[in-house]
Structure 1
């Protein structure tokens, strides 16, 4: 999916909602465990109930890897279902990959070509040669970890560099502008770091930001919209647990749809 298509979808739905499919087999409704593939059945129901209000879906790959071969099969069914039934929706492989060049090239092939995701999250710590193999794929995106929502982010990401006032995450943003542009590079910026959002936008005003941490992690949706949304609606706000686990009963999908609608309605006034 290219940038124009993503922006058009955001404006049409008046939403920047990304639903995280962090599907934990220990948390899904127990009656689904009787199904042949409970993880896929859960995902399918969530997708069908929320797609009207959602512009992106983000399976967290760890939840699928933890189930071995069956988990990978569930993931493949999920991405195929999205691509076949809701091709207008942006898909994110939340894999947080990043390794030496030839390894990153294989990760890129796995998620872009074999699984047909639109994008993948990538860790920048190993530098340019670990990130560049993910670039150059037509209509595919790198989503670089810049300023994450976890408490440990303060261990390194916000530390000043030497005698400079520049923080490490600002250096990552600045350096990575050499690796991609607003057409193929996004950044992860945690909603729990909303007060840093302006610093991020000073460096990358036009790039899309993927913002996790709204809801269960305590991030403020209104603060993110006010500080992170550019002139073009170049923002994706992720909600996982707050949507997909809003109910553990047979009405889980219906309640997830209501939660997604409520978030969309909160976003809509900000989107012109």
Structure 2
């Protein structure tokens, strides 16, 4: 099943557009998990088991797992991936084609994530290995929620912003490409989702970043978006 079909099915069944960010900090998890050999895995497993019927899926920020211990944890977690939810690798990769292929093979192949976040800055050859993988999905960074996003993403090129040029160009590459839009850009989200009913947006910035959820929901005009909350939940 392709990603959008799977995503819409889960959203309808679970009546939720939420993905939980498993940005798990070993220093902050409850002491009860410290007795295990791999406390982060056990904590994440408990979160998944307790919430899977209430959420669309899980987004794993790979930065929290950048160590030998962390990658061991990711590989154990990947054994829990299933068809009841979507699992997104928030890896923000973006490199030349042969390097990108190794990233794609690991994250979408070995770990079997359903989707991955990618920086589009280096162009199509940095993205192609990911969108060529069957039934997988690519979320390109478009208009992100961090305070420095306007430094480049809102630069004008001709009569368009750079992020708009990226979207326009990349949507011609494949139909399994979506975008990351920060929750602090409801007007831009409104404009995009009115025109693109079957393109998924991954929307961070709710929860600890204190953006207005009610106003955001009013401005989303398609039914295949996911809203991430990490620190606001775990």
Asked if TM exceeds 0.5, the reply is yes
1:33 aligns with 2:34: yes
Q: Distance in 2 between matches of 1:61 and 1:150?
A: 17
Which structure 2 residue ranges, 5 or more long, are not aligned?
Answer: none
Q: Secondary structure at the match of 1:103?
A: helix
Q: Over aligned residue pairs, what C-alpha RMSD do you find?
A: 1.4
1:242 aligns with 2:232: yes
Residues 197-208 of structure 1 aligned to structure 2 (within 5 Å): 197-201=189-193, 204-208=196-200
2:205 corresponds in structure 1 to: 213
Q: 2:182 aligns with which of 184, 190, 193?
A: 190
Q: Distance in 2 between matches of 1:45 and 1:104?
A: 32
Residues 65-84 of structure 1 aligned to structure 2 (within 5 Å): 65=66, 68-83=67-82
TM-fit CA distance, 1:148: 0.4
TM-fit CA distance, 1:133: 1.3
Higher helix share goes to which structure? 1
Q: TM-score, length-normalised on structure 2?
A: 0.95
Q: Secondary structure at the match of 1:53?
A: coil
Q: TM-score, length-normalised on structure 1?
A: 0.82
- Runs of 4+ deviating beyond 6 Å: none
Which structure 1 residue ranges, 5 or more long, are not aligned?
Answer: 245-272
Q: Distance in 2 between matches of 1:204 and 1:176?
A: 14
In the alignment, is the contact (CA less than 8 A) between 1:174 and 1:203 conserved in 2?
no
2:214 corresponds in structure 1 to: 222
TM-fit CA distance, 1:82: 2.7
2:153 corresponds in structure 1 to: 157
2:61 corresponds in structure 1 to: 60
- CA deviations 1:6-37 (Å, max 9, x no partner) are 21111111110100000111111123222100
Q: Distance in 2 between matches of 1:56 and 1:157?
A: 27
TM-fit CA distance, 1:198: 2.4
Quick one: structure 1 residues 219 and 234, their matched pair in 2 at CA, closer, same or farther if it must change by over 3 Å? same
Quick one: structure 1 residues 205 and 7, their matched pair in 2 at CA, closer, same or farther if it must change by over 3 Å? closer
In the alignment, is the contact (CA less than 8 A) between 2:190 and 2:221 conserved in 1?
no
Quick one: structure 1 residues 51 and 76, their matched pair in 2 at CA, closer, same or farther if it must change by over 3 Å? same
In the alignment, is the contact (CA less than 8 A) between 1:210 and 1:236 conserved in 2?
yes
Residues 122-201 of structure 1 aligned to structure 2 (within 5 Å): 122-162=118-158, 164=159, 166-181=160-175, 184-201=176-193
1:94 aligns with 2:84: no
Q: Distance in 2 between matches of 1:145 and 1:203?
A: 19
